[in-house]
Amino acid sequence: MKTFQINTKINFGQGALASLEKLEGKRVLLITDPFMVKSGLVNEPIKYLQKSEYTVFSDIVPDPPIEVVTSGIKVFKEFMPDAVVALGGGSAIDSSKAIVYFSKKILNLGHVQLIAIPTTSGTGSEATSFSVITDKQKGAKYPIASDELLPDVAILDPELVKSVPPNVTADTGMDVLTHAIEAYVSTQSHDCSDALAERAIKLVCEYLPKAYADGNDIKAREKMHNASCLAGIAFDKVSLGINHSIAHAIGAKFHISHGRANSLLLVHVIDYNSQIDGYKTTEFSEAAKKYAEISSFLKLNIFNEKVAVDSLKDAIIKLQKQLNMPLTLTECGIDPKEVEAMKDEIAELALNDNCTKTNPVKPTKEDIIKILEK
Ligand code: NAD
């Protein structure tokens, strides 16, 4: 038996932000990053908190380190909120999840409401039970996983995403695509997660180029925001694969944005999981069949399984070129000698990452090194 349950209430569409008014009379801790304050975007949710008592903690940085979570817990302790509003990209939402989780444990508290308001369309963190925190000393990213991290409410208001610059739109959009594709081929995938992943893949292919070309295209922004959340729910239920395991290690070592790291690996991981083009065997894997299904619903060439997998890879490369994205680590400015020197450590980190457990093919360290070299 399998169970599928969504615990996060999702308010979506233009004007969804007004649902924050339901926090009337509550003590609200709003957690965000300095850009939101500098740009004035923080005032958008604040408009709806006028009948609440609120304070703002705005020290979140990308790839949030343990130290940021510790400072946030200190603010939580001083203010003792009934509700926490997380405003920002995955970094602000992940930090807020960890701050609420650890504050509750340390202070022995009952439920504290968590409302996540994403301002990027990428991580899906507003609907997942993960929080990714970086240990700067060890140079590693650690996903914490617990149902207690799930936000109670996610507010997907596309107005908040219009200001995302094209390069961040591209990186975070490719993160959505990677989530959906990895969830679709995960060893745990099932009809419910496939339905969400399929819809997310279709939405990204149609609307990411539009959101990239014109950030004010509100329909494209709304569709990408929905795609991000749908992909988040899908992978929350069935997890991901080695694309994410390697991306976590690359992100921590080379400070490449999470979505960009995922994008660099995507076609090579598809190659590996399909077990074609020089890997181990010429037999097609079960994953190849699922990739072929993706090509089918994207109406690509599906003459046979090899053609179908190749046409999916071609479509991804075409999309990456449309988004002016780098296709290699070297194009990201990383010295190949640095990659060579770290490849063993990266492969080791990736092998031990939780996402590896649900990859459709069980990799060896050598397999991961081969993907890195590609
Ligand atoms: P981010 O939150 O780090 O933000 C990237 C940059 O975009 C920041 O400088 C931010 O200020 C800026 N930004 C955000 N919203 C903006 C807006 N509306 N206008 C202009 N600029 C804006 O990036 P992200 O990709 O959303 O999150 C990445 C983090 O999420 C990583 O740490 C990653 O590991 C984590 N992650 C978590 C999950 C999960 O399930 N919890 C899943 C995937 C990734």
Mutational test site, ligand 1, from 168, 172, 212, 248, max ligand atoms within 8 Å of CB: 168
Q: Take atom 44 of ligand 1 and give the residue whose Cα is closest.
A: 123
- For residue 303, give both structure tokens: 């003459």
Give the distance (Å) from ligand 1 centre to CA of residue 91. Answer: 5
Q: Quick one: pLDDT at residue 280? A: 54
CB 346 within 8 A of CB 352: no
Whole-prediction pTM: 0.95
Q: Is 117 helix (H, G, I), strand (E, B) or coil?
A: strand
Give the distance (Å) from ligand 1 centre to CA of residue 249. Answer: 17
Identity of the residue numbered 141: K
pLDDT (tens digit, 9 = 90+) per residue, 130-176? 999 998 888 777 889 999 999 999 999 999 999 999 999 999 999 99
Distance CA 177, CA 211 (A): 14
Alpha helices, H only, the chain: 34-38, 43-47, 66-79, 90-107, 166-185, 191-213, 218-238, 242-254, 258-274, 286-297, 305-322, 336-352, 365-373
Q: Take atom 20 of ligand 1 and give the residue whose Cα is closest.
A: 164
The reply to whether ligand 1 has any atom less than 6 angstroms from the CB of 259 is yes
- For residue 163, give both structure tokens: 């200001």
Mutational test site, ligand 1, from 258, 325, 355, max ligand atoms within 8 Å of CB: 258
Give the distance (Å) from ligand 1 centre to CA of residue 366. Answer: 31
Q: Take atom 28 of ligand 1 and give the residue whose Cα is closest.
A: 90
Q: Is the pLDDT of residue 276 over 80?
A: no
Q: Take atom 2 of ligand 1 and give the residue whose Cα is closest.
A: 89
The CATH number of the domain covering residues in 166-373: 1.20.1090.10
Q: Quick one: pLDDT at residue 65? A: 95
Ligand 1 atom with minimal separation from the 91 CA = 2
The reply to whether ligand 1 has any atom less than 6 angstroms from the CB of 215 is no
Ligand 1 atom with minimal separation from the 149 CA = 41
Kindly list the domain boundaries of the chain, sorted by start residue.
9-161, 166-373
Complex confidence, ipTM: 0.98
Q: Is the pLDDT of residue 278 over 70?
A: no
Give the distance (Å) from ligand 1 centre to CA of residue 274. Answer: 30
Mutational test site, ligand 1, from 31, 117, 129, 132, max ligand atoms within 8 Å of CB: 132
The mean pLDDT of 20-28, rounded to a whole number, is: 97
Q: What class has domain 9-161?
A: alpha beta
Q: Is the pLDDT of residue 252 over 90?
A: no
Q: Quick one: pLDDT at residue 255? A: 87
- Helix 166-185 to helix 305-322 angle (10° resolution) is 160
Percent of the chain with pLDDT over 90: 91
